[in-house]
Amino acid sequence: MTFFRGQPELVERFRAGDTSVLTEVYLAYIGPLQNVLRQGFAVQADARSFHIAGIADPMEVEAACQEVFMRAFKSSARQAYDPARSYANYLFRIARNWRIDAFRKRRPEVSFDAAPVLGAEVEDEAPLVEARMIDAEVEALVADYLAGLPARDRDYFQGRLFGGRTQTEAAAALGLTRIQGRRIEARVKTGLLAWLRAHGHSPAVSRAGRPEEEVE
């Protein structure tokens, strides 16, 4: 991704800590960062390769995203960023270093000094067949739920989900204010959660996050 390319003024505002630019950076990279955190990566130390496992638990992913962006958005990290280079790589390196730090604390016997990160080429394990079946069932139930919504609510979500519109845009397309769109969105989402629970998708049968682990 080339967020800052050809935009020196944007880089200046980023380094100065302009919250509107930080917000844009966050929105641009929060998705890719989650992929990196979930995927895990390989690292070499003491002539051995280690796999730092990905994070699957959404609560841990949330905490990890917060930690990584806290580090990446600190003034010292903003000043250290070289705009000639990819910000994605810069951010992901921060994420990997943070994960390595955590690993190092649990494996003090392994020397990670100047350990090269081999990249994220180590794939996370494939989801279990059971989990894939549950995912497919949830998707089918979500489709059923959306089909049963009142026309206005369904149209709003069509705009949001398939039209790539913001809340304001999706609401405006239906002649609604953003606050009305927001209410629709909250109501529909809350209804979906109740719908799925009513159809047997309680937490006990839903796909749980795999525990974090490090494997050599």
The DSSP 8-state label assigned to residue 211 in this structure reads P
For the bound state, the minimum distance from the C-beta of residue 54 to other proteins, rounded and expressed in Å, comes to: 10
Q: How far apart are CA 95 and CA 36, in angstroms?
A: 8
As a whole number of angstroms, the longest Cα–Cα distance in the chain is 63
9 binds other proteins (CB under 8 A): yes
Q: Is 79 in the site for other proteins (CB under 8 A)?
A: no
24 binds other proteins, rule: CB under 8 A: yes
Place of tokens 């944007």: 10
> 185 or 214: whose CB is closer to other proteins?
185
Closest CA to 131 of 209, 54, 211, 58: 209
Whichever of 19 and 44 has its CB closer to other proteins, that residue is 19
Measure the CA angle with vertex 103, ends 73 and 114; round to 5°: 75
Distances (CA, A) of 145 to 153, 161, 170, 195: 11, 14, 19, 7
Phi, then psi, of 78 in degrees rounded to 5: -65, -40
x/- track of binding to other proteins for residues 144-183 (CB under 8 A) = --x--------------xx-----x--------xxx--x-
Which residues of this protein are in contact with other proteins, per CB under 8 A? 9, 16-20, 22-24, 26-27, 30-31, 34-35, 38, 57-59, 61-62, 65-66, 69-70, 73-75, 135, 138-139, 142, 146, 161-162, 168, 177-179, 182, 185-186, 188-190, 192-194, 196, 201-204, 206-209
